């Protein structure tokens, strides 16, 4: 005779099979979504949407940190989650009312210019301000996970031991989970998730699913970072590590379009090293390359974060200054010219004036041109006027 399972066990088994089917479906959908892009911000958004969406793992809130080995930092990159219960109910009601699935949520993110939607805002900005040294030996949750490479589940009983850590001061959670993101046994990020609105306990099945998602997410992040590194190398001048001429043209067009749309000013500075041929002919091109690298570093260090410093070609450099009118640009250009004049470049005493200097030409949108070529031409003519005035001068 066949031994039939009791009805209760059959119901339990069926429930477990249904749950497993649902879980596999969720992971499959998130995995497919991550394969649709190599853009890092989109990858991070897909991961966190998978963690928080009702059609995903369903956590109330999730944060994602990336490991920056170069600078020795754990950096907050993105956070998704409502800031209050009222906001949570509004968002969840909207998603349910519009019957939004994972694809809808991702499409909404891509459609917006900066990815902002109901799940982001002040909370996301707070997450992005978190930067923690990897060398921090204090009882820091993120460092602990980064060093151990193991998931960490903090309950009401254990979370009190870490109440002074930055992440808990931000979240003020009673319970949370931290999961490392791995790629080829290397930890490249950390997901933090909690249920601060619903207060639903985090169970073993939640941890298992989040860990499975994290395993896929780590590889997706690595692929995206490798892609972005390759793209950046293609856009960078190998000698100076500034944006190259081709990318300068793209940046200038892009910034001009933004200025036109926002009715904001934009300026361009062209910089040409004075008597550089004398330096090259006397000491050789290797010595000249060192000068170019030194000047590139100086320009990058002395420019504002918003400015785009590029190598235009040869001994010429270009700086795109968004939201900057001609009057302000002239002040900036003069400061840069003086910085170059004061800087102690190697063997500059062989030059006619016994020091290395530069001639600068500036132009501004819209008065000097509406197109990239017009601004470049105006800056170029101004730079040659500076040359004709005796060099080491700024003209417009």
Distance CA 207, CA 179 (A): 8
- In this prediction, residue 37 carries a pLDDT of 85
Tens-level pLDDT at each residue, the chain (396 residues): 455 667 777 777 777 777 777 777 777 778 888 888 888 988 999 899 888 877 668 899 999 999 999 889 999 999 988 877 676 667 666 666 666 666 776 666 655 544 444 444 678 888 999 999 988 766 689 999 998 899 999 999 999 888 888 888 889 999 999 999 999 888 999 999 999 999 999 999 889 989 999 988 999 999 999 998 898 889 999 999 999 999 999 999 999 999 999 999 999 999 999 999 999 999 999 999 999 999 999 999 999 999 999 999 999 999 999 999 999 999 999 999 999 999 999 999 999 889 999 999 999 999 999 999 999 999 999 999 999 999 999 999
- In this prediction, residue 121 carries a pLDDT of 60
Distance CA 80, CA 64 (A): 9
Q: Are 161 and 139 in contact (CB under 8 A)?
A: yes
* DSSP character string of 321-384: EET--HHHHHHHHHHHHHHHHHS--TTGGGSTTSS--EEEEEEEETTT-SSHHHHHHHHHHHHH
76 has which bridge partners? 65
Does the domain formed by 245-395 have CATH 3.40.1830.10? no
- In this prediction, residue 3 carries a pLDDT of 57
- In this prediction, residue 161 carries a pLDDT of 87
- In this prediction, residue 113 carries a pLDDT of 45
8-234 against 245-395: fold identical? no
Q: Are 320 and 362 in contact (CB under 8 A)?
A: no
Which residue in 222, 217, 223 sits closest to 181, CA to CA?
A: 217
Does the domain formed by 8-234 have CATH 3.40.50.880? no
Q: Domain residues of the chain, as ranges? A: 8-234, 245-395
What stretches of 112-238 show up as alpha helix (H) in DSSP? 122-128, 141-148, 166-171, 204-235
Note the maximum CA span of the chain.
107
Q: Are 51 and 193 in contact (CB under 8 A)?
A: yes
- In this prediction, residue 52 carries a pLDDT of 87
- In this prediction, residue 374 carries a pLDDT of 97
Name the token pair of 112: 């917006």
- In this prediction, residue 189 carries a pLDDT of 95
Which residue in 131, 214, 196, 135 sits closest to 167, CA to CA?
A: 131
List Cβ neighbours of 243 (8 Å cut-off, separation of 6 or more). Answer: 235, 236, 237, 251, 308, 309, 310, 311
């Amino acid at each position: 005779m066949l031994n039939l399972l009791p009805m209760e066990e059959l119901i339990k088994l069926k429930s477990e099979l249904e749950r497993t089917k649902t879980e596999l479906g969720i992971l499959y959908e998130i995995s497919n979504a991550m394969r649709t892009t190599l853009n890092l911000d989109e990858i991070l958004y897909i991961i966190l949407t998978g963690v928080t969406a009702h059609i995903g793992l369903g956590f109330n809130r999730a944060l994602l940190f990336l490991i920056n080995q170069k600078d020795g930092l754990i950096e907050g990159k993105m956070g998704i989650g409502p800031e209050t219960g009222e906001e949570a109910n509004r968002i969840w009601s909207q998603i349910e009312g519009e019957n939004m699935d994972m694809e809808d949520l991702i499409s909404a993110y891509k459609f917006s210019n900066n990815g902002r939607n109901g799940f982001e805002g002040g909370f996301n900005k707070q997450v992005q301000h978190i930067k923690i040294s990897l060398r921090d030996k204090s009882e820091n949750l993120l460092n602990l996970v980064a060093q151990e490479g193991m998931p960490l589940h903090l309950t009401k009983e254990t979370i009190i031991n870490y109440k002074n850590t930055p992440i808990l001061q931000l979240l003020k959670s009673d319970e949370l989970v931290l999961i490392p993101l791995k790629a080829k046994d290397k930890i490249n990020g950390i997901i933090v998730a909690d249920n601060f609105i619903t207060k639903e306990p985090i169970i073993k099945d939640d941890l298992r699913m989040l860990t499975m998602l994290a395993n896929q997410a780590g590889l997706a992040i690595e692929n995206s970072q490798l892609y972005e590194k390759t793209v950046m190398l293609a856009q960078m001048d190998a000698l100076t590590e500034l944006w190259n001429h081709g990318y300068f043209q793209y940046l200038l067009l892009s910034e001009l379009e933004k200025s036109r749309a926002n009715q904001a000013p934009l300026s361009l500075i062209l910089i040409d090293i004075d008597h550089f041929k004398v330096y090259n002919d006397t000491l050789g091109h290797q010595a000249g390359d060192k000068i170019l690298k030194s000047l590139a570093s100086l320009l990058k260090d002395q420019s504002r974060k918003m400015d785009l410093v590029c190598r235009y070609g040869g001994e010429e450099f270009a700086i795109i200054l968004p939201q900057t009118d001609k009057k302000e640009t002239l002040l900036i250009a003069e400061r840069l010219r003086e910085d170059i004049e004061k800087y102690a470049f190697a063997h500059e005493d062989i030059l006619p004036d016994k020091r290395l200097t530069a001639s600068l030409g500036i132009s501004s949108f819209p008065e000097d041109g509406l197109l990239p070529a017009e601004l470049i031409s105006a800056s170029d003519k101004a730079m040659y006027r500076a040359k004709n005035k005796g060099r080491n001068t700024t003209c417009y």
